[in-house]
Structure 1
Amino acid sequence: MPYLEHQPKILIAGAGIGGLSAALALHASGFTNIEIFEASSTLTTLGVGINVQPSAVLILRNLGLLEALDKTGIRTQELNFYNRLGDSILSEKRGVQAGYDVPQFSIHRGEFQMLLLSAVKERLGQDVLHLNHALTGFTQTESTITAQFSQRRDGAPASASTVSGDILIAADGINSTARRLLYPDEGPPKFSGRMLWRGCIERAPYLTGASMVWAGHADQKFIAYPISQRSADKGKSLVNWIAELRIRGKDDADLTPPKTDWTKAVDKSVFEGPFETWTCGGLQMKDLIDSTKKVYEFPMSDRDPVQNWSFGRLTLLGDAAHAMYPIGSNGASQAIIDAETLAKYLSPLLSSSSATFSIPDALKAYELERLPPTAKIVMANRANGPDHVLQLAEERAPEGFDDVYDVIPREELEEIGRVYKKVAGFEMESVNVKARETAGECERLGLRSPQEWV
């Protein structure tokens, strides 16, 4: 197929971080005919905190979003690991403090999503997003792909609609309809046996005011980190916290996740007892839990890597392609890297120098670059990823220790982090080389942060 003499029409199913990042990356590469379809009838700042690694922040910097990120999230300064007794296992600098040329951010997921959406609307138009459009199916020919959607109606049967285009990007999450149609025998996500309870509370800053606390072990863990620059500007800290417990045995053959509704608050008595005496990094876990008005429940689940993401004019992106445990702060980052990679392989279609490169070729090239590393991350996260240092300390010194190096030699401790950074693609040297090579990219493209966020 010769290069495209017209702007291809790109359909994106899903207005989460992956779908919106894909729209921004494609726009920066010269694509302007993009439509986004979201199953939800409204988009709000619901959600909890996430982390965005320097490898992904670099992409966002090059898309002109660094100023807005600085106004919204926290530049993470350090990550501290503790055992369940509060003994320090490891403390390491993060982001710019560690020597990266770009920061790591801790940020509220909902605010991050709205930030991305604001940029999408400024650059692609206010009508780019179609709410209340749940993907139900697709058909394709050699020259087009047609997406089928369902729209809910209050008090009436859902209505159906179709939209045709040149490319369909399925960024429709861990319960992706596109993936279910491509892999009908796969079934639901695989439950880890562990449940996450999450909340946010504004309080006095702790440690550096930009510190992450990771405590416990594989079957009982507590995580906390600040996520709001607006709170920091007031001398406060909006702390996102996560309590994690195993609720199903390791040998249980049932991997089906329990039914939960992450939009409904749950009773704290379900989980808070085991954390009653925990104190780590200057934080009292019981105090965080008790002071939080609403707590939400999330089963920790993922999916097995699949053999292919791209089928003709359709491809998967983000959690639809590689849902992973929230270990190593990587889910959102990998979706953003997907978006940049996809745009890289599609952009030659707008150039006459790409006379024999087709849309299916481009989507397959994207898959070939991104599927292998994300499959490795999925499996690394199942083995606890960088959190493995917590499990080693628990297994070797369950009653605590005075000096962690008596329990885990320094080289072994540091190697766990080095290996994971390499697997996940945020080794400092490679990120910094790319940061210097792409310096000034957003200025060259005339991209800037959405004005309502700065």
Structure 2
Amino acid sequence: MRAIVVGAGIGGLTAALSLRRAGHEVTLVERTSRFAEVGAGIQLAPNANRVLRRLDLLDAVAARAARPNHVSFRTWSDGAEICRYLLGRAVEDTFGAPYLQVHRADLHTALAAAVPPGSVRMNTDVVGIDQDDECACVTTAGGERLRADLVVAADGVRSAARQWLFGADEAVFSRTAAYRALLPAAEVADMDLPDTGIWLGPDRHVVHYWARGGELLNIVAVFKTRAAEESWTAQAEPGEQLREFGGWDPRVRDLLERAGQVFRYGIHTRSPLPRWNTGRVTLLGDSAHAMVPFQAQGAAQAIMDAAVLGDVLVGATPAEVPDALDRYVRRRLAAATSTQNASARAGEDFHLPDGPEALARNARMAAHAAGNVFMPQATAWAADVLDDQAPS
């Protein structure tokens, strides 16, 4: 069977590898002319890492990752610890795979290196997808029509394919944006920081953790705003992040002040869909379920999509593709939508104003941590919808 995957991000690359593993011929098309080191840190929970292990990529990713021991939730103004959860060996022993913190480019490089170069078409902009009972076709900006038995649209939060399949539907601005920066470990060695820190405050929160084996500290400072560009490369004005986080704990402000190059990006999502597929074409990853990143599951959910897509297509013939895609969506849509909703709720909880609601949240979090070793989202880490009958 022949498949075309549109978009060579984390979801698209993992889909290409999963489909090849299922025995199919795959062409990956990407509109950019080369893979670039964009983005910063990304957290990979055990559900994603079990898939990477299946693809024989976990060791390569883990070699460039940090393995945090714990996560500490703290108050914005004085850094008092609300609660603490275990990560590290406890997570790996319980969920069958580690919790890793990586540079997005390192993950992307590991995935891209596993895809045969001859199956990748860079600098190929897709301007249309159509299909009939026998095949699906991708039309490029250069006028080519590429035929396949299956088309997977992994074209991101601004997915054009989603509109071609299901009509006008724009990305939704979450009314939050984030500053992000990477600091070399040597520049923060004198600071008293938790292994992984999440600082909660009115209309804002800050996350920091290690990446690239502890060489870099990744900082993400989220704030509510009325408008912000959705861009990985838009730079903040000098000192802008300090003005947004005035009055915060001195350690947070010190981190933000030490950050050299600071980027600002608007966080966009997609509204849940009742289905992701039609005929021989399906959505995958952010094109289907882009979510706010407040449970660190966006990339993991795309990776899970790709794994399940490969599972349902093991041994499939071209005629069986539409039914197989129905099975893929049945196995993934509810879980991904649930994670979308949980991430949105987490953002609301993180950003409560000072007062009774925030105090009640802190007490609730402390009580949960007293009775549970792992964070509430660990239920997603345990979810394993992979098919045991798929090839090992």
Are residues 1:224 and 2:208 paired? yes
Corresponding residue for residue 54 of structure 1: 46
Could you tell me which residue of structure 1 aligns to residue 343 of structure 2? 381
Query: 162, 184, 193: which is aligned to 1:179?
Result: 162
What residue number does 2:356 align with? Answer: 396
Q: Which runs of 5+ in 1 are unaligned?
A: 1-7, 151-158, 249-256, 351-355, 446-454
Would you say the 8 A contact 1:210–1:226 is kept in 2?
A: no
Q: Give TM-score, length-normalised by structure 2.
A: 0.89
Of residues 84, 87, 91 in structure 1, which corresponds to 2:80? Answer: 87
Quick check: 1:106 aligned with 2:101? yes
Partner of 2:177: 195
Measure how far apart 1:264 and its partner are: 3.3
In structure 2, the partner of 1:264 is 234
Distance 2:319 2:45 in 1: 32
Indicate the residue corresponding to 1:9 in structure 2: 2
Q: Which residue of 1 aligns with 2:307?
A: 340
TM-score w.r.t. length of structure 1:
0.77
Looking at structure 2, the residues matched to 238 and 174 of structure 1 have their Cα atoms a distance apart, in angstroms, of 27
1:41 maps to which residue? 33
1:133 aligns with 2:124: yes
1:203: Cα distance to partner? 2.3
| Number of positions where the alignment pairs a residue of Structure 1 with one of Structure 2 | 386
**2 CA distance for matches of 1:409 and 1:104?**
22
2:152 to 169, 176, 189: 169
CA-CA distance at 1:108 after TM superposition: 0.8
Q: 1:279 to 1:312 in 2, by over 3 A?
A: same
Number of the residue aligned with 1:21: 14
Give SS of 1:382's match: helix
Corresponding residue for residue 363 of structure 1:
325
Q: Describe the superposition over 1:224-259 as per-residue Cα deviations: whole angstroms up to 9, x where unpaired.
A: 011111xx4xxxx301101111123xxxxxxxx543
Local SS of the residue matching 1:75? coil
Secondary structure of the corresponding residue to residue 196 of structure 2: strand
Alpha-carbon shift at residue 36 of structure 1 (Å): 0.4
Assess, with a 3 A threshold, how the Cα gap between structure 1 residues 306 and 408 changes in structure 2: closer, same or farther: closer
Cα RMSD, aligned residues only:
3.0
Shift of 1:162: 1.9
Distance 1:163 1:208, change over 3 A: farther
Structure 2 residue corresponding to 1:70, chosen from 41, 62, 68: 62
Shift of 1:341: 0.4
Q: Deviations over 1:60-109 (max 9, x none)?
A: 01111122112111123211110102010111011433333310111111
Could you tell me whether the CA contact under 8 Å between 1:309 and 1:367 is conserved in 2? yes
The structural deviation recorded for 1:416 is 12
Cα 1:62/1:97, change in 2 over 3 Å: same
Of 82-91 and 71-80, the range deviating more from structure 2: 71-80
Structure 2 residue identity aligned to 1:130? R
Q: Of 253, 266, 284, which aligns to 1:317?
A: 284
Structure 1 counterpart of 2:161, which letter?
Answer: A
Taking the aligned partners of 1:208 and 1:269, their CA distance within structure 2 comes to 23
Task: Report the residue type matching 2:133 in the other structure.
Answer: E
Could you report, residue by residue, the CA deviation over 1:410-429 in whole angstroms, capped at 9, with x for unpaired residues? 1488689765333xx213xx
Cα gap change, 1:288/1:210 in structure 2, threshold over 3 Å: closer, same or farther?
A: closer
CA shift at 1:192, angstroms?
1.8
CA change 1:201–1:418 in 2 (3 A) is closer
Q: Does the CA contact (< 8 Å) of 1:75 and 1:210 recur in 2? A: no
Q: Deviations over 1:385-420 (max 9, x none)?
A: 6x83x456944386x89xx65x76614886897653
